[in-house]
Amino acid sequence: MNIKWWLIVLNFHVIHSVGCEDPTGQSYDRNRDAIDQAVSMDLASLPVDRGQSEDFEQMTELGDVSTVDIDLSSRDMDILDSRLMDEPIDMQVPRDDTDLYAQLRIRQGVVSGSHSILEDGVLLDAGASVRWAIDDAQIPLGALLSISLKGQVWRVEDGRVQISSNLDQDFYQIWGNGLFEIAPVRHRYEDWSGNTYGVEALPPILSWPISETLSYIEITSINGGLTIGDLYLHGTHAEELAIQNESPDPVIADQNVEYISCLPAEDCDDGAGLNALIAQVTEQAAGRSIDIRLPSEQYFAQSPVLINRSDLSITGTHAPSPPIWKWSPYPNSGQTWPFIFRGAGSVGPALQLVSGIEYGQRNIRLNQVLDEQPTWLRLSADDFGEVPNICINGRDVERRNRHQRQLFKVLEMSSDDGQTLITLDRPIFVSIPEDATPTMTPVSLLTANQISRMNIQADCLASQSDRFAEANCQNQEVIDDGAVLSLYTDGLKMTALSAIGFGKFTYEIRDSLHNVVENSQMHHPSAYGSGGQGYGVHLIGASRTVISYLEVNHARHGVVIDFGSSDSQVLNGTFSDMNQALLDVHGEASRDTLIRNNHLEQSSIGIIIGGGGRTVHCNDGPRHHVQLNRITECGIAVLVSDETEKTYVQSNHLYNNGTHVGSAYGAHDIQVERNQLGSTTIKAISVGFEGTRDMRVRRNLFQEQCSPDEALLQLNGAERPEFVDNMWCPQ
């Protein structure tokens, strides 16, 4: 990404001190505890800038949100005021308010509206709802009731719901992610008026005073795309109890097989040996799941291990430390990986749609009759839309909407009148016109694969230098290699891996669905240059990916979200010491990203959205949420660029940066809200270049700036941001 103008204007210098203290006096908790509740700050006496009410209404829009009016006239309900009572109920609560009062199974609910029944829950389309009847004795009178539910929230917009009962009705936010965990129900940002800021500033949880018998609860999806399971009713102070999720089960396979290293044999190639074992057990255990265990302390591989069957896991079992898998490929191997999980990919011709695709559509009509229901389909389309002005002289001159390559599972199929109607497992949250020729191609993906608990080392001791320069490796082949490739897989898990010395993309997920990278590490690649080198995780056309508890230190990028990837989530990670952006949404029309609860430090940029640079790449798609991150010692903490739109920077703690939030080259519709903004070397907010517009800076705490003029750097025709209800320079 070309950030030359930022570096010149900001006179940026990266602070290289290690172990910097949080200026609030609170050290960063590297144990990665979940943030459970908001911590109040009494800042009512601080100076406030007040905006007009009509401006406030405009600012409260969140993404492509539309309100669904629920007709309650035909139901016997008495809808009360949803505000909390000013006085406590004069009644003894029979149970402690940390109790879990009831768990209501999803199968006990009654579903209305368009939906699909999944293995773990119910997928609700916009306006669909689930209603549970409540037993009279389940919730004690006088309780303060909160709600959590087990669900899957790929987009923040998916988690927006209306919750109704005979006691209350209001709009809320399910605070979940893509891991199908138990998540609390909170108020929405736009409905929250309290004075808290930064990573402690979560919207308050739903809290209903139970003044009379609760008889039912109904949850209605506003935007669709929400999968919900069981409902948990608990006391308002029982959040830890309610959101306690079970640890994932260890791999339990039908057959466990050990592979012992061929070391110390001089001609040892554990890659070839493991391939032979996989071929043998695949033939012997057709249709059965297999876990291959690696008990040796060290392995030496010159050939890549190719996994092209489902239900196969590879687990390092050496104790106490994970086994080392040393990678030293044969000469002239070309770009490859020590471990390749690869499905078949396309298994049929591209299928033509009857028409274009409407935003949020999940039922797709094909212009032919299919003999059998495909398991997965891959969406493709021609590029469409205008070429953004800022990118019109770029290398590829790309249109605004490009790289449509989303993967779906097919839930239902029916045929009539020479056409086929298919129902997908996820709405398509992009409108595609008919003249862009959208198609659906049947694909075959691997399923139920996992690779875990290994230390994968490229043959390159020189990579352990702290310079950002290509290493002189013992085996130069590793400069072009990554560690693990996932291609055409569904549900692959990379767990408890560490890797060092690979020059390309250490963990690469390409054209795959539902992949998870968790509790893993990467550091010190063997190359850092342009053209794609030195990445921790690289997503290429990936659909619904979760990267959780990843640590990347000393690399080019920690995570790169690229080439039309959608529903990507980076959660609870630690990223530091890089020569380019720590997290990079790479300017190739990726959309619907969640970056939450990470610690980032020491780089030119912390998080960039629209990050490829207009001479090579251009805009990203919409709806990127940056929440609850601590970012320090960066030239720019969060930068939105290249005509990217709909970005939400909320409840972050940004301190000791050159500038905290920047917008450039036509980026627009940016909400900066509830952040704690500490010291800067230049300005807290920076905007640059004509066409950059629609930034709303609302309800933030500016710790060192006392007015918008002190906080803002405005350059080269960029529109001035709107400042509303911020707190300025507390003493």
pLDDT greater than 70 at residue 62: no
- State mean pLDDT over 142-162: 95
The sign of the torsion formed by the CA atoms of 544, 545, 548, 551 equals negative
Contacts of 372 (CB under 8 A, 6+ apart): none
Q: How many CA atoms lie within 13 A of 538 on its CB side?
A: 24
Report the chain's terminal Cα–Cα distance, integer Å: 38
Contacts of 137 (CB under 8 A, 6+ apart): none
The C-alpha atoms of residue 710 and residue 604 are separated, in whole angstroms, by 23
- pLDDT at position 614 is 66
CA angle 455, 502, 518 (to 5 degrees): 50
3-class DSSP state for residue 266?
Answer: coil
551 forms bridges with which residues in the sheet? 521, 574
- pLDDT at position 44 is 30
The 3-class SS string of 648-706 reads EEECCEEECECEEEEEECCCEEEEEECCEECCECCCCEEEECCCCEEEEEECCEECCCC
The C-alpha atoms of residue 227 and residue 368 are separated, in whole angstroms, by 30
Q: Is the peptide bond before 338 cis (omega within 30 degrees of 0)?
A: no
What are the DSSP calls for 289-339, one per residue?
-EEEEE-SSEEEESS-EEE-SSSEEEEE--SSSPPEEEE-PPTT--S--SE
CA angle 551, 554, 555 (to 5 degrees): 90
- pLDDT at position 172 is 98
- pLDDT at position 391 is 79
At residue 138 the predicted structure's pLDDT band, cuts being 50, 70 and 90, is confident
Model confidence pLDDT, tens digit, residues 418-432: 999 999 999 999 999
Alpha carbon 106 to chain centroid distance?
Answer: 25
Q: For residue 112, count CB atoms less than 10 angstroms from its CB and return exposed for 0-12, middle for 13-18, buried for 19 or more.
A: middle
* Alpha helix ranges (H) inside 298-452: none
Pair 198, 111: CB distance under 8 Å: no
What are the DSSP calls for 193-249, one per residue?
-----GGG-PPPBP-EE--S---EEEEEESSS-EEEEEEEEEETT-HHHHT-PPPPP
Q: Most distant CA pair in the chain: distance in Å?
A: 81
Model confidence pLDDT, tens digit, residues 478-499: 999 999 999 999 999 999 999 9
Higher pLDDT, 709 or 57: 709
pLDDT greater than 60 at residue 171: yes
Pair 459, 326: CB distance under 8 Å: yes
The sign of the torsion formed by the CA atoms of 414, 418, 424, 428 equals negative
Pair 582, 557: CB distance under 8 Å: yes
- pLDDT at position 50 is 31
**Rg, Å, the chain Cα set:** 26
Structure tokens at 266: 């001089």
The C-alpha atoms of residue 250 and residue 269 are separated, in whole angstroms, by 29
3-class DSSP state for residue 644?
Answer: coil
Numbered ranges of CATH 2.40.30 in the chain: 345-438
Structure tokens at 700: 């933030």
Percentage of residues in the chain with pLDDT exceeding 70?
A: 83
pLDDT greater than 70 at residue 248: no
Q: How are beta strands 255-258 and 144-152 bridged, if at all? A: unpaired
- State mean pLDDT over 574-579: 97
Structure tokens at 349: 């011709």
pLDDT greater than 90 at residue 253: no
- pLDDT at position 79 is 22
In one-letter notation, the amino acid at residue 447 is: T
Pair 575, 598: CB distance under 8 Å: yes
Higher pLDDT, 39 or 567: 567
At residue 434 the predicted structure's pLDDT band, cuts being 50, 70 and 90, is very high
At residue 240 the predicted structure's pLDDT band, cuts being 50, 70 and 90, is low
- State mean pLDDT over 492-517: 98
The C-alpha atoms of residue 119 and residue 121 are separated, in whole angstroms, by 6
pLDDT greater than 50 at residue 193: yes
- State mean pLDDT over 38-60: 29
Mean pLDDT of the chain: 85
- pLDDT at position 194 is 83
Model confidence pLDDT, tens digit, residues 580-627: 999 999 988 899 999 999 999 999 999 999 976 666 788 888 999 999
CATH 2.40.30 fits 345-438, yes or no: yes
Q: Is the peptide bond before 320 cis (omega within 30 degrees of 0)?
A: yes
Structure tokens at 216: 């039912």
Q: How are beta strands 160-165 and 216-221 bridged, if at all? A: antiparallel
Domain covering 67-242: architecture:
Sandwich (2.60)
Which of 312, 626, 318, 607 is CA-nearest to residue 446?
A: 312
At residue 415 the predicted structure's pLDDT band, cuts being 50, 70 and 90, is very high
Which of 256, 263, 267 is CA-nearest to residue 292?
A: 256
Of 158-167, 191-200, 262-271, which range is least confident? Answer: 191-200
pLDDT greater than 60 at residue 20: no
Which of 9, 19, 10, 5 is CA-nearest to residue 577?
A: 19
Pair 373, 410: CB distance under 8 Å: yes
Model confidence pLDDT, tens digit, residues 279-332: 999 888 888 999 999 999 999 999 999 999 999 999 999 999 999 999 999 999
526 forms bridges with which residues in the sheet? none
- State mean pLDDT over 12-25: 30
Of 150-164, 391-405, 527-541, which range is least confident? Answer: 391-405
- pLDDT at position 370 is 96
* Alpha helix ranges (H) inside 530-608: none
- pLDDT at position 385 is 84
The C-alpha atoms of residue 526 and residue 503 are separated, in whole angstroms, by 5
Per the listing, tokens 């102070």 go with: 237
Percentage of residues in the chain with pLDDT exceeding 90?
A: 73
Per the listing, tokens 């007709």 go with: 71
- pLDDT at position 383 is 87
Higher pLDDT, 225 or 17: 225
Alpha carbon 481 to chain centroid distance?
Answer: 26
Numbered ranges of CATH 2.60.120.260 in the chain: 67-242
Q: How are beta strands 591-596 and 566-571 bridged, if at all? A: parallel
The C-alpha atoms of residue 704 and residue 721 are separated, in whole angstroms, by 19
- State mean pLDDT over 66-75: 30
In one-letter notation, the amino acid at residue 302 is: Q
What percent of the chain is helix, strand and coil (3-state, nearest 5)? 10, 40, 50
Contacts of 25 (CB under 8 A, 6+ apart): none
User: Considering the entire predicted model, what is its pTM?
Assistant: 0.87
Q: At residue 26, what are phi and psi to the nearest 5 degrees?
A: -100, 120
- State mean pLDDT over 106-123: 95
pLDDT greater than 50 at residue 664: yes
- pLDDT at position 387 is 78
Q: Is the peptide bond before 264 cis (omega within 30 degrees of 0)?
A: yes
- pLDDT at position 97 is 55
Q: Is the peptide bond before 23 cis (omega within 30 degrees of 0)?
A: no
- pLDDT at position 162 is 98
- pLDDT at position 617 is 80
The C-alpha atoms of residue 146 and residue 206 are separated, in whole angstroms, by 5
- pLDDT at position 464 is 95
Which of 565, 476, 598, 463 is CA-nearest to residue 523?
A: 463
Q: At residue 333, what are phi and psi to the nearest 5 degrees?
A: -75, -20
- State mean pLDDT over 356-379: 96
